[in-house]
Amino acid sequence: MNIWRVVACAVLLLVVSLSLAANWLAPAGYAKQYREAADSAPSRQHWLGTDDIGRDRFARVLYGTRISLLLAPAAAFLSTLMAALIGGMAGYLGGSWARGAMALTDLCLSLPWLFLLITVRALMPLNASPMVSVLATFLILGMLGWTSAARVLCASAGSLRDSDFVRQARALGIRGSRLFWVHVLPNLKPVLYAQFWISIPAFILAEANLGILGLGVAEPMPSWGSLLRELEGLVSVGEEPWKFVPLVLLVVVVTSFQFVLSRQEELAA
Amino acid sequence: MAIMRRTIALSLLPLAVIVIGMSLSGTAAAQGELRFCLRSEPKTFDPLKVEDDASMAIRYLTGGVLVRLNRQTQVLEPELAQSWKVSKDGRQITFKLRSGVSFSDGTPFSAEDVAYTVQQLMDPALHSATGDAFRSGPGNVETKIISPTQITITFPALVAGLDRQFDQVAILSAHSTRKEMAVLGPFMVADYKPGSMVMLSRNPNYWRTDAQGRRLPYLDSIRLDIQPNRDVEMLRFKRGEINLINSLDSEYFDKLAATSPQFVHDAGPSLDSEQMWFNEVSRAPLPQYKKNWFRSATFRHAISEAINREDLSRVVFRGHAQPAVGPVSPANKFWFNSKLQPEAYSPDTALKALQDDGFRLENGTLKDKDGNEVVFSIITNSGNKSRERMATMIQEDLQKIGIHVNVVTLDFPSLIERMTQSFDYEAILLGLTNVGLDPSEQMNVWLSSSENHQWNPSEKAPETAWEAEIDRLMRAQAASADAKKRKESFDRVQEIAVEQAPFIYLVNRNALSAVSASVHGASPVILVPQTYWNVDQLTVK
């Protein structure tokens, strides 16, 4: 394992640990409004200053990191699972099954997903609590994000279908689901892992994009997306550099994921 | 040689006199180009079809009107009409027009053009929003040309504030082949590149002159760049690429004030308000117990009292807003009911009023008499940071009296669909932009039968006694030509609105603008268009 990968793992571990320790590290809850100190610069009381309505930015970064970092992998797991079932099965069965599944995948890929997300978000019950809205946002992301992975898995499963060991298994009389679960799926694991790791930064960014549109996680709960909205209208980096902390964190985490990911891709190859 | 020199000098003298004379009584010397941004594409150049802000700006800059509301004094002043008279029954208006005025293409202006414009405006097939303001009863509008400079217009029923309505009516030429492109205003459309810019050039035939007899406007041209992004607009202003920003957010205002305080102007509370309201529609898909809360004036009042408006003004708008009093902003000097005061922030009083009404506080959670937890959602439009912040602050304010609020941001079409079609919402936080001063322009909000009666639209008959009273008072003020009586009626409407709180008025935003030092003659005001209301007297150096 090269040094960068070790550093990336360490960074991810540190960020996750800090976010999990938010209850102890943060000086206040993420929703507490210090209205007399709204939009203030970093101070001893507020290490990263406060946001527009006086909420401690450091607390919001910690809690927001927790939400984005814990739920993005959950969404990635869901989308990879769906990709495995749809793409893996289609590749394994081949023929019209594969063509049908890939047509469905192409159709889903061609959908304007942003508008779809906005529409789905608009149809959600209004009185959903912030936590439910967080879960729903990532659930929707997970359910819509399986398409690219499904294409890769379909191709991989297709190549496995005609491999020697599968032919041998068939010759021994192994058929149907047993063949899929025992012989095909375990051999898809490296591809599945790679797809899982690829999806995590994609979902973090997707949630951030939704947050920038004001359609992500509901107030007062923070997420990286909602924190990044503070950068709207900021004219120069030097003006209020502490507001860039969520962006820096996002870049660092996504980059770290990429380093870890390259290892997964090597394993998959 | 001396004689020859004298001869040349004498022969040049008439030429010099002509040149000097031209500069004194003719067109003013070139005074530059004014540049600013339109935040959307203009939907039309036809002044009678205007509905959007961008088209409205172009109408203001190019259209000639009979009378103009002075945006600074709020007094109606003569323009193309030298004088006018409204009949006692408020149905008829007679204009005495200026003579010797021509459209930008040279076509002479006369009473015939006014008659043509009014007939076009009132044509039902045109669906003119400007024309709707004159439609007060069934029947046709009659125009009678008394002479080329005098015309009488008779409406089928009384039109409240009849003369003021003509501030929005740009006169069209009855004979020009250039149709709506022949104008009587200070500028005319010279070029239009969709998605990019509208170029206006000076109207050489504009009728107005300054005190020295020089023909206005001073400016040669106005370049209107179509730029929806406010960040880009701000950057361009800072770089000096545009000369003014007509409506600034408080955040941008403070940033600009920090570096260039001489450029920014806070004209005080505007006519615009931010408000929230509860869904009182009887057929709304809400549980009955929630409908009972929302239809209770005590509940609405308690919510209003529990909201800290001072904090909203100070934190969200950085002090560039005032706690709202009621339906009319104090900026509307004549129509504002000065007896009214902003709702005092008092969560304790609010909680007590709710407890007196059967609600009870259990473990920090408010419950109604049937044990239902008081939880509701507030919707606002996504992308509007001020409203999102206000909703989040209200969420915390109401938490103090045990009410749990869910803040939901929706894209605008979804919000409007819930508000006007499905009625599937509990509370909405939005703003109201008031362009006009006259209460008749709010008829569509206050009449219970109106589609824009937001808290309970299109009622077949008023569902409450106070709504019936508001209906009566609004019709009474609209049916009277007596300003004092109208004021009395509308004062009472404002009082009822505050007593019953169908709208919970939050703040009146200040009119904030920015004007670069290169613009001379600008004097920003609260009425639209704040910065260029006296455009014919502006210069850019």
Q: What is the pLDDT of residue A113?
A: 74
CB-CB under 8 Å, A35 with B406: no
Residue B41 C-alpha, separation from nearest chain A C-alpha, in angstroms: 22
Closest-CA residue in chain B for A35? B315
Dist CA B483 CA B469 (whole Å): 20
Contacts of B202 (CB under 8 A, 6+ apart): B186, B187, B188, B217, B219, B220, B221
SS3 A156: helix
Taking contacts as CB-CB distances below 8 angstroms, the residues of chain B near A130 are 406
Dist CA B169 CA B79 (whole Å): 12
Over range B299-325, report the average pLDDT. Answer: 97
- Token pair of A119 as six digits: 């529409």
Query: Within its chain, how far is the Cα of A245 from the centroid?
Result: 19
CB-CB under 8 Å, A235 with B234: yes
Q: What is the pLDDT of residue A260?
A: 80
Residue A90 C-alpha, separation from nearest chain B C-alpha, in angstroms: 37
Closest-CA residue in chain A for B252? A233
- Report the predicted TM-score, pTM, of the whole model to 2 decimal places: 0.82
Taking contacts as CB-CB distances below 8 angstroms, the residues of chain B near A127 are 375-377, 406, 426
Other CB atoms closer than 10 Å to residue A268's CB: what's the count? Answer: 17
Residue B231 C-alpha, separation from nearest chain A C-alpha, in angstroms: 5
DSSP type of residue A28: S
The region of weakest confidence among A108-117, B60-69, B451-460 is A108-117
CB-CB under 8 Å, B408 with A215: no
| Ranges of residues in chain A whose predicted pLDDT is under 50 | none
What digits encode the pLDDT tens for the residues B342-372?
889 999 999 999 999 999 999 999 999 999 9
Q: Which of B397, B391, B467 has the alpha carbon at shortest distance from B428?
A: B391
Instruction: Please answer whether residues A79 and A149 qualify as being in contact, where contact means their C-beta atoms are separated by less than 8 angstroms.
Output: yes
CB-CB under 8 Å, A35 with B315: yes
Residue A135 C-alpha, separation from nearest chain B C-alpha, in angstroms: 15
Q: Which of B428, B309, B430, B308 has the alpha carbon at shortest distance from B378?
A: B428
A11 to each of A4, A7, A155, A257, B37, how far by Cα in Å?
10, 6, 34, 10, 46
Instruction: Please answer whether residues B214 and B24 qualify as being in contact, where contact means their C-beta atoms are separated by less than 8 angstroms.
Output: yes
Exposed, middle or buried by CB within 10 Å (0-12, 13-18, 19+), for A107?
exposed
Residues of A with CB under 8 A from a CB of B: 31, 33, 35, 38, 52-54, 118-119, 121-122, 126-130, 213-215, 218-220, 229, 232-233, 235
Over range B96-120, report the average pLDDT. Answer: 96
| ipTM of the shown complex | 0.81
With residue B298 as reference, give the H or E element that holds it.
Answer: helix B297-305
CB-CB under 8 Å, A229 with B385: yes
What digits encode the pLDDT tens for the residues B135-191?
877 888 999 999 999 999 999 988 878 898 999 999 999 999 988 899 999 999 999
CB-CB under 8 Å, A33 with B425: no
Query: Within its chain, how far is the Cα of B241 from the centroid?
Result: 27
Whether B252 has its CB under 8 Å from any CB of chain A: the answer is yes
What number of C-beta contacts closer than 8 Å exist between A and B? 79
Q: What are residue B410's DSSP bridge partners?
A: B381
Taking contacts as CB-CB distances below 8 angstroms, the residues of chain A near B407 are 218-220
Instruction: Please answer whether residues B26 and B216 qualify as being in contact, where contact means their C-beta atoms are separated by less than 8 angstroms.
Output: no
Q: What is the pLDDT of residue B18?
A: 40
Which of A235, A239, A240, A243 would you mutate first to test chain B, the one with the most B CBs within 10 A? Answer: A235
- Mean per-residue pLDDT over chain B, rounded: 90
Q: Which of B62, B121, B34, B60 has the alpha carbon at shortest distance from B527?
A: B60
Instruction: Please answer whether residues B110 and B149 qualify as being in contact, where contact means their C-beta atoms are separated by less than 8 angstroms.
Output: yes
> What are the φ/ψ torsions at residue A21 (nearest 5 degrees)?
-95, 15
Instruction: Please answer whether residues A223 and A166 qualify as being in contact, where contact means their C-beta atoms are separated by less than 8 angstroms.
Output: no
